[in-house]
Amino acid sequence: MRVRGRAAVVAALTRPTVRSLPWRLLAGGWALGVVVAAVPALFSLDLPAAALADVVRAAALCGAVGTAFALDDPARHTTGAVPVPRPLRQTLRVAVVGLAGAVWWAAVLGAVRAGADAASWGVLPAGALTVEAAALSGLALALAGAAVRFSAVRLPGPAVAAALPALPVAAAVFLPYEHALFVPPGDPRWADAHTLWAGILAVTLAVWAACGPEPRRRVRGAPGRGGGVPKRGGGRTRRAIARNLG
Amino acid sequence: MTRPTVSAAGLTLSYRGTRAVDEVTLRLTEGVTGLLGPNGAGKTTLLRILATATVPDNGAFTVLGHDPSTVTGRQDARRVLGYLPQNPGFHPDFTAFEFVDYVAVLKELTDRRTRHAEARRVLDAVGLADVRGKRIRKLSGGMKQRVALAAALVGDPGFLVLDEPTVGLDPEQRMRFRELIAEAGEGRTVLLSTHQTEDVAMLCHRVVVMDQGRVRFDGTPAELTAVADGRVWRSAERQPGARAGWRTGTGEFRNVGDPPEGARLVEPTLEDGYLLALGGDPVAGVAA
């Protein structure tokens, strides 16, 4: 059998990856997001920029709930011992979801714009809200990635999707006033809040990336992976290894 | 002596303070080796370690000369092994062919023509040529198991790890699966985890018995049967001193353990030897 390079693997893997994604669940979250974004247009609501920002945030949260299913892989264990590494497989999944997600986000902004008057749309900071949406989806990926890395679960999506809406609520309730994440456009805290959002995006993507590689050493005490014993063998073990493996 | 294809020494893995695999040392050679043991004996954990799906706390092993403790070593080991997990999962909307083709890509068969030929070959080998275009969700449990075996056979691996592949299959399907495993064992090393002593008796040139994470016996099926020589007897009543005893169809009890004086000894079976190998100290014939 000829072994080709990574590019050839990626090319061959793209189609089955697209086929293997849980599109119904992803699309469910995204469709709900578009419906939420279309509410002002559907009901001819004349909302101010602050309310429009909250509509966009609600749509972003729906999208993040859909993204929580991106790493669901019912065949995880059947394909658990293949040479193509997990980071490559996950990256390809996330890239495909990311591309589709970008189209979805454009649809969300388009739906909001259709229902907003020119003045409100003009002061709505779409770029900063896009960073918020990306951070929420990044959070979903980080949680799903951690679930895959630290447990044997095949479908982390349902648990992550269930937990995700609670996190922005908790942030709104527990974060101090000066570090609030959900601030209206034009608020003096806007710049600081979006520095924080950018930080969340960077950290969540870093966590997802760090959870990708399969471990060479077990994590002490990690859920479902036990731990709590010394990593190196005693003299008896080392002698046995030397004897048997030469 | 036949050169080992898979060597493991001192493999240990703990789950929350319990040693699921405890200082396991093994040398596997070509042919089918059976791994017997009760639930919770550590069989699946050992198989997952040897399949490189999980990492041991201690110990080391090689698969066809590759050391999976390094990133490149693990990849090299994975190129020469096939793994059928205990509860194989699938993408249910894939056809059998699409799924095996997908696994072939994951095994780095990137040339489309070669890959498709390989997918057809392994599906033919497991007797699924007629249903390769059928969606997996519409296949029976036995057929799904065969799809998983076909996926494990992709790339003609030198080491095949099969975790209870006959569980949940009806007798006919189990028979068919045994034939497939026997064929797979020709020219490669197969490690077969099972609860069924009949699987071992029919398929394996060697048997390893595990209990409480440790190897209790390592030898041939005949040697495991011989462990029970002179230690199986029949009686009219239940024998309190027997290690195990059960009422047979004739109404008599069949007992395994240390027989009382004058006991009616009977010919032992592999299962009798297995029962005696469980628990206590390793029995005669053990290599570990």
pLDDT category at B196 given cuts 50, 70, 90 is confident
Contacts of B25 in chain A (CB under 8 A): 240, 244
CB B61, CB B7: distance < 8 Å: yes
**Sequence-distant (≥ 6) Cβ neighbours of residue A245 within 8 angstroms:** B7, B9, B60, B61, B62
- In this complex, the residue of B8, B13, B23 whose CB is nearest that of residue A226 is B13
Residue A52 pLDDT greater than 60, yes or no: yes
∠A80-A157-B81 over CA atoms, to 5°?
Answer: 5
Instruction: Give the closest-approach CA distance of A135 to chain B in angstroms.
Output: 29
The pLDDT of residue B2 is 65
B260-273: pLDDT as tens digits: 888 899 999 999 99
Contact between B24 and A198 (Cβ < 8 Å): no
pLDDT at A223: 35
Mark yes or no for CB contact B81/A83 under 8 Å: no
Instruction: Out of A51-65, B1-15, B48-62, B194-208, pick the least confident.
Output: B1-15
Q: pTM of the entire structure?
A: 0.86
For chain A, the domains span 13-215
pLDDT of B164-180, one tens digit each? 998 877 888 888 889 98
Averaged pLDDT score across all residues of chain B: 91
| Residue of chain B with shortest Cα separation from A17 | B102
Q: Is 80 exceeded by the pLDDT of residue A60?
A: yes
Provide the token pair at B236: 């009219």
Per-residue confidence band for B283, with pLDDT thresholds at 50, 70 and 90: low
Report the residue from A3, A4, A77 with minimal CB separation from B88: A77
pLDDT for the residue A3: 46
Question: Model confidence at A237, in pLDDT bands (50, 70, 90)?
Answer: very low
Q: Are B67 and B225 within 8 A, CB to CB?
A: no
ipTM of the complex as predicted: 0.85
Sort out which chain A residues have CB atoms less than 8 A from B151's CB and list them: 78-79
From the list B56, B99, B105, the residue facing A12 with the nearest CB is B105
Which of the pair, B282 or B254, is modelled with greater confidence?
B254
For residue B56, the chain A residues in CB contact (below 8 A) are 218
Round to whole Å and give the CA distance between A184 and A87: 37
Comparing CB atoms, the residue among A1, A217, A237 nearest residue B10 is A237
pLDDT at A1 over 70: no
Asked if A244 and B24 count as a contact pair (C-beta separation under 8 A), the reply is: no
Q: Quick: pLDDT tens for B71-96.
A: 899 999 999 999 999 989 999 999 99
Is pLDDT above 50 for B252? yes
Residues whose CB falls within 8 Å of the CB of residue B82, separated by 6 or more in sequence, listed in order? A81, B151, B152, B153, B154, B155, B157, B159, B160, B161
Q: What is the pLDDT of residues B90-144, one digit of tens each?
A: 999 999 999 999 999 999 999 999 999 999 999 999 999 999 999 999 999 889 9
φ and ψ at B34, to 5 degrees? -90, 140
pLDDT of residue B217: 95
Identify the closest residue of chain A to B97 by CA–CA distance.
Answer: A16
**Residue with token string 């119904």:** A24
User: Which of A79, A92, A93 best tests the B interface by mutation, with the highest count of B CBs <10 A?
Assistant: A79
Q: Which of B14, B54, B58 sits opposite A227 (nearest CB)?
A: B14
Chain B closest-CA separation from residue A172 CA (Å): 36
List chain B domain ranges: 1-80+159-218+270-288, 87-156, 230-267
The three-state DSSP-derived secondary structure of A125-178 is CHHHHHHHHHHHHHHHHHHHHHHHHHCCCCCCHHHHHHHCCHHHHHHHHHCCHH
Amino acid code (one letter) for B103: V
Q: What percent of chain A has pLDDT over 90?
A: 75
CATH code assigned to B1-80+159-218+270-288: 3.40.50.300
Please report how the helices A126-150 and A190-211 are oriented relative to each other, as an axis angle in degrees rounded to 10: 30
| The pLDDT of residue B170 | 82
Residues of chain A with C-beta less than 8 angstroms from the C-beta of B144: none
pLDDT at B167: 82
Q: For residue B151, what pLDDT band results from cuts at 50, 70 and 90?
A: very high
* Contact between chains at A237 and B78 (C-beta distance less than 8 A): no
Distances (CA, A) of A38 to A41, A165, B252: 5, 20, 78
With beta carbons less than 8 A apart as the criterion, state whether A201 and A140 touch: no
Query: How many A/B residue pairs have CB atoms within 8 Å?
Result: 172
Percent of chain A topping pLDDT 70: 86
> What pLDDT shows up at residue A167?
86
Could you tell me which residue, A140 or A152, shows the higher pLDDT? A140
C-alpha to C-alpha distance for B234 and B251, rounded to whole angstroms: 10
Q: For A180-224, how does the pLDDT look when each residue is reduced to its tens digit (9 = 90+)?
A: 999 999 999 999 999 999 999 999 999 999 999 887 665 444 433
- Chain B closest CA to A78's CA: distance in Å? 5
Using a CB-CB distance cutoff of 8 angstroms, which residues of chain A are in contact with residue B157?
none
Q: How far is B201 from chain A (nearest CA, A)?
A: 27
Q: What is the mean pLDDT of residues B40-47?
A: 94
